Amino acid sequence: MEPLKLKVSYAPFVRSKDSIESVMYNVALALLPATALSVYYFGIPALLVTLTAIAASIAFEWMTDRIRRKPDSCFDGSAVVTGLLLALNVPSGLPLWMVVLGAFVAIVVTKHLFGGLGFNIFNPALVARVFLLISFPVAMTSWPVPFAVDMQTAASPLGILKTDGLSALQGFSYMDALLGKTGGSLGETSALALLIGAAWLFYKRYITLTIPLTFIAVTAVFTGIFYLIDPSTYATPLFHILTGGLILGAFFMATDMVTSPMSMRGQLVFAGGCGILTAVIRLWGGYPEGVSFAILIMNSLVPLLDRWDLNDIKAKKQQSLETA
């Protein structure tokens, strides 16, 4: 009789009825309100960017599966989610070839060169966003105005705050930021639509509130301290919550199952670091937005955070054995 060969994978070992497909397509469903609202505000260009990002992501997934001689994964939903998140992280006026290039960076470079789904260290869509932002800063910061018929562009609220100061935001409306009538990437426009999608993921238990609430709370507290010190220079914490990519990043990208810590203690450190870095970059950095950079920096620390917990668990087990 041949010896039984067992393949042991990495922890955590969790029994669940959910498959990769069900999780991914539920995430895509949760992103639908923000996607639909972006198309409503920005029209056909937003729809083209979204469809191009999804189609290119699926195509690159299919091609890399062929090259790596792996089973087909192009319709497991992960490529669709990556394409959707990529689209929500770029302006509606971005040239479509740049969208395709972003999908290549996300799927081929960030995901498959690291081993495929489950092995990537960084969030693929965020790496693609940062790559496009650094490579094509003008195109990535040209924000079309909602309902404009001639692709008129204007600075985002965070961009205005960074370049012209708080006094230039006299006409800013918190309600517009909540509903989405502001300039920004497709997924930055409506906090309400994103929260509706996040509620669905929480209801399905695909995310917990540890990371998003800690991320947002730390950003709010940090920016709030400086608002209290000098309200004539620094914006309110609510402004920082409703503008930019904080809601999108906190609920849909920092909670990525692959690139976030497993334990609650690790998640608190991870989310707290995201919040501090986001606030620091927004207040004093060269870019008006810091969510993408913050999450990617903290992604790089996730293996250390998980190792920290693993070592503690081993130490506690050893201590219990010695005292038994």
The DSSP H or E segment spanning 54 is helix 44-68
Q: What mean pLDDT do residues 280-308 have?
A: 92
Pair of tokens at residue 69: 């001689």
Closest among 276, 44, 238, 41 to 157, alpha carbons compared: 238
SS3 295: helix
**101: burial class by Cβ within 10 Å (0-12, 13-18, 19+)?**
middle
User: Is pLDDT at 14 greater than 90 in this prediction?
Assistant: no
Distance CA(250)–CA(32), nearest Å, equals 17
Q: Helices 44-68 and 78-88 sit at what angle, rounded to 10 degrees?
A: 140
Q: For residues 131 and 90, is the Cβ–Cβ distance under 8 A?
A: no
Share of the chain above pLDDT 90, in %: 54
Mean pLDDT confidence for 28-34? 93
12 pLDDT above the threshold of 70? no
Q: How far is CA 167 from CA 170, 182, 268, 287, in A?
A: 6, 17, 35, 19
Enter the pTM of the model.
Answer: 0.88
CATH architecture of the domain formed by 20-308: Orthogonal Bundle (1.10)
**What are 252's two structure tokens?**
């849909």
CA dist 270 and 286 (Å) reads 23
- Strand 153-154 and strand 143-144: the pairing is antiparallel
Q: Are 223 and 230 in contact (CB under 8 A)?
A: no
Min mean pLDDT across 153-162, 214-223, 234-243, 312-321 is at 312-321
Lowest pLDDT segment from 32-41, 135-144, 313-322:
313-322
Mean pLDDT of all residues in 41-49: 91
Task: Judge whether residue 2 has pLDDT over 70.
Answer: no
- pLDDT at 15 (0 to 100): 59
- Per DSSP, what are the bridge partners of residue 153? 144
Nearest alpha-carbon partner for 246 in 207, 200, 295, 205: 295
What is the model's pLDDT at position 151?
Answer: 65
Least confident of 6-15, 25-34, 113-122, 212-221: 6-15
Instruction: In whole angstroms, give the CA distance from residue 111 to residue 120.
Output: 5
How would residue 223 be classed by pLDDT, with cut points 50, 70 and 90? very high
d(CA 175, CA 158): 16
List beta partners, residue 286. Answer: none
Q: What is the pLDDT of residues 56-107, one digit of tens each?
A: 999 999 999 999 888 888 888 899 999 999 999 999 889 999 999 999 999 9
Supply the pLDDT for residue 124: 94
Among 160-169, 173-182, 290-299, the minimum mean pLDDT is found in: 173-182
What pLDDT is attached to residue 227? Answer: 95
The pLDDT tens digits for 165-210 are: 888 888 788 888 887 777 778 887 778 889 999 999 999 888 899 9
